[in-house]
Amino acid sequence: MNGIHDLGGMQGFGSIEREENEPVFRADWERRIFALLNLTIAAGQYHVDEIRHSIERMGAAEYLTTPYYVHWLHAAEDLLDHKGVVTHAELEQRMAELAKKGGK
Amino acid sequence: MPALPKEMVAIAIKTGASARAEVATAPRFKAGDKVVARNINPPTHTRLPRYIRGKHGVVQHNHGGFAFADTRAHGLGDQPHHVYSVRFEGRELWGDDAGPRDAVYIDLWEPYIEPVA
Amino acid sequence: MDEHSHTEPPSEPALRIKALESLLVEKGLVDPGAVDEIIDLFEKRIGPRNGAKVVAHAWADPAYKKRLLEDGSKAIAELGFTGLQGEDMVVLENTPSIHNVVVCTLCSCYPWPTMGLPPNWYKAAPYRARIVIEPRKVLAEFGVDVTPDVEVRVWDSNAEIRYMVLPMRPAGSEGWSEEKLADLVTRDAMIGTDIPRVKA
């Protein structure tokens, strides 16, 4: 699809920001979603191509302004809901339960 | 499929999951062939970027057969095709202001390209 | 306007992911031990030191270098660096007349077994947008000045082949052990945005 992900040749993005000694993962949630997405692929839930396309469908503004691993989270939620494996409703409910328990 | 158990993680990562697949038909192109990237604009998944579409390039190499991303992304199966490394000159992609010695190499599944006389 | 009106910010990723993980574990789709193992693998055990060993070996052994350039996957497998996101490897030789640099304009494809996970700048919009259209300007920003007589080849990893640059061995490294040579090879040198140099 002609999404914002198709960046080759676009202009106006400014300088390439680099960080010295950048950590592999910036936060624990990044570690976890990295693991979960790879393990659900290994469990046969989806192919990497489906993940890429899910990310492509994020919407331009969200795609450009969210951290990289939020893209992975989007794909996991989107595909697992679409396949009825973990529905949005189930996820919302579990989040509410965890938030109540102070589970941040 | 069940969950990948902890003991199998290292071996699974070391094995990976190559997308290589056998293609039933003979390759349509060979190294040296002049090709043009098709102007396709599917709303579905494709790995043919806009900056390459409609541009003329030269086939460098046939990587072999691979599962087709455009179909696999939509549960339409692997449908393998030959994948070619194709070279595009910078000036072909970006116009005369591009450097005379800049080139882009990109991997194109056979359905992405057409021959040029 | 009511000063208490505001839009709820979206839930933190952390809470969503915690919820997702607990559901996936409950449903038997993810083994919690596997989660910790795969994190450890990519955070601590797989990284650009692997690729540096491949480069150093190629510099030290011309026969290996030949095999590496002919069949990247097979030669890299000799050193044991195989697997996910590196199943099909092509190694690109930098020469005095050709400078290679790698990108994935469409997402973040990168050869994990030899180089670990990519740095943020490789995955973000500016690099992906600019390297294909103004490679020399981008390379200069990275401190790599390519003279006009040198050809620049930008490789867009849009399919499943993964690319790694074999940088030129720097002057002043003659007779060095492979271990010492590997220390010269930065991650960026294997992307093509750095050049190995012997420090004066």
In a domain, C4, yes or no: no
A28-100 — its CATH code? Answer: 1.10.472.20
Longest dimension (CA), chain C: 76
The residues of C carrying an active-site annotation are 104, 107-109
Q: In terms of CA atoms, which chain C residue is nearest residue A78? A: C20
The mean pLDDT of C4-21, rounded to a whole number, is 75
pLDDT, one tens digit per residue, over C24-44 is 999 999 999 999 999 999 999
Instruction: Verify whether the Cβ–Cβ distance B17 to C84 is below 8 Å.
Output: yes
Estimate to the nearest angstrom the gap between the alpha carbon of B21 and the chain centroid.
13
Indicate whether C132 and C153 sit together in one domain.
Answer: yes
Q: State whether C40 and C103 are in the same domain.
A: no
B79-109 residue pLDDT tens: 999 999 999 999 999 999 999 999 999 999 9
Same domain, C27 and C78: no
User: Within a domain: residue C66?
Assistant: yes
The closest alpha carbon to A34, from B82, B21, C14, C35, belongs to: C35
**Token pair for C162:** 């993964």
Q: Is the pLDDT of residue C176 over 90?
A: yes
**Cβ neighbour number for residue A99 with a 10 Å cutoff:** 15
Domain identity same for C34 and C110:
no
C129 touches chain B (CB under 8 A): no
Q: Verify that C18 and C98 share a domain, yes or no.
A: no
C8 belongs to a structural domain: no
- Across the interface, whether the CB atoms of B4 and A42 are under 8 A apart is answered yes
DSSP B67-93: --HHHHTTTS----EEEEEEEEEHHHH
C180 and C117 co-located in one domain: yes
pLDDT band at A103 (very low <50, low <70, confident <90, very high): very low
Chains that touch C (3 or more CB pairs under 8 A): A, B
Chain A residue with minimal CA distance to B67?
Answer: A49
C73 found inside a domain: yes
State which residue of chain A sits closest to C187, comparing Cα positions: A21
Q: Which domain holds residue C140?
A: 47-191
Question: How far is CA B47 from each of CA B92, C130, C180, rounded to the nearest angstrom?
Answer: 20, 18, 40
C112 located within any domain: yes
A73 chain-C contacts, CB cut-off 8 A: 13, 16-17, 20
**Each residue's pLDDT tens digit, A1-59:** 999 999 999 999 999 999 999 999 999 999 999 999 999 999 999 999 999 999 999 99
- Chain A residues close to B90, C-beta within 8 Å: none
Q: Are residues C70 and C151 in the same domain?
A: yes
- Domain holding C150: CATH number? 3.90.330.10
Q: Give mean pLDDT, residues C102-114.
A: 98
Predicted local distance difference test score (pLDDT) of residue C11: 67
Name the one residue in this structure whose structure tokens are 């040029």: B116
**Structure confidence at residue C5 (pLDDT):** 40
| Domain count of the fold of chain C | 2
**Lowest-pLDDT choice from B18-22, C1-5, C14-18, C76-80:** C1-5
Domains of chain B: 19-115 (2.30.30.50)
Is C6 a domain residue? no
Model confidence at C8: pLDDT above 80: no
